[in-house]
Amino acid sequence: MSKYLKKLSLDKHQEIGGSLKDMREKLIELHTLLCSTYGKNSVEVRRVIRACQGIDDLRCQLDNCVCKEFPELPNDVVLNAYYGGQRTQQV
């Protein structure tokens, strides 16, 4: 028996993946703004970096979930749910 109560649909995983990617891109924009405003070592910038790391951790965990939930699908299909499209920038 799975440790999950139920699984998300592949479409839902893809929707969440897109939302997380959008959130991360907004945080990258905010990071750039805050670095030029408050300095790259400011508390504000460190908090944005921590938020990005949280999103990265969540994407990784959900990527593991989608791979376990849909083992019958080709790898490129399930891996694209959270890491499809262009490569994300590092903070």
Give per-residue pLDDT as tens, 40-79: 999 999 999 999 999 999 999 999 999 999 999 998 889 8
Residue 71 lies in a domain: yes
Q: Domain range for residue 38? A: 10-82
Q: State residue 87's pLDDT score.
A: 46
User: Residue 7 is which amino acid?
Assistant: K
Percent of the chain exceeding pLDDT 70 equals 88
Residue 27 lies in a domain: yes
Of 9-13, 58-62, 86-90, the one with minimum mean pLDDT is 86-90
pTM metric for this prediction:
0.84
Q: State residue 11's pLDDT score.
A: 95
Number of domains in the chain: 1
